[in-house]
Chain A
Amino acid sequence: EAGVTQFPSHSVIEKGQTVTLRCDPISGHDNLYWYRRVMGKEIKFLLHFVKESKQDESGMPNNRFLAERTGGTYSTLKVQPAELEDSGVYFCASSQVGQGNSEQFFGPGTRLTVL
């Protein structure tokens, strides 16, 4: 069974540009999460999809971040326009729906560098 995949693995952009990150969850996992780790800090939650619906977006830092999950399969996270403080590693995770204690499996992450 394939794990969570993310694309690209690395992205280097200039301040003010736009970047779109993609996540493909484990097949059959309706829960999809985005997290971010800024250097020196802990991994922090950004938002949570159940299928195509946003269940919780309380962790999104501001309106420069837009997440979508059309069709309830893969998800994209767009940053527009990017700022220096957006640099970090963006992780995607997925889990099954049905249990209150569902284990989350992480993708390899996208390392974003904003210059």
Chain B
Amino acid sequence: QKEVEQNSGPLSVPEGAIASLNCTYSDRVSQSFFWYRQYSGKSPELIMSIYSNGDKEDGRFTAQLNKASQYVSLLIRDSQPSDSATYLCAVNIHSNQAGTALIFGKGTTLSVSS
């Protein structure tokens, strides 16, 4: 059974702090990793994708991938109250195929206090 694990939280950080969200996955052949943000009652919104080991930065967001440890993380710098949401980690099921289904974690709820 292929799984994606996340700490459900809530993770509470003060405004301006760094929020660190973590995710582990069980399928060693997974090649694509995504972070989605979901506000209550809304659809998942893609915020980061990462495919290679190391860091990928986009604005205040940094995704980190370590395939040897089967671990992917998301750092949010200068956290804002508007970042308060559930963050979903998603991993593709099959590798090296165009268009593949995703396995999702249950999500980590982030709360940023002003």
Report A's interface with B, CB cutoff 8 A. Answer: 30-31, 33, 35, 41-45, 48, 50, 55-56, 59, 91, 95, 97-109
Contact = CB atoms under 8 A, between A and B. Distances in A.
B69 interface: no
Given A42-B104, A101-B51, A106 B98 contact: no
Contacts, number: 66
A3 B51 CA distance: 24
B102 A104 contact: yes
B80 interface: no
Given A45-B101, A56-B101, 8 more contacts: A31-B99, A33-B102, A42-B105, A42-B107, A102-B100, A103-B34, A106-B45, A107-B43
B43 A91 contact: yes
Interface of B is mostly: loop
Contacts of B105: 42
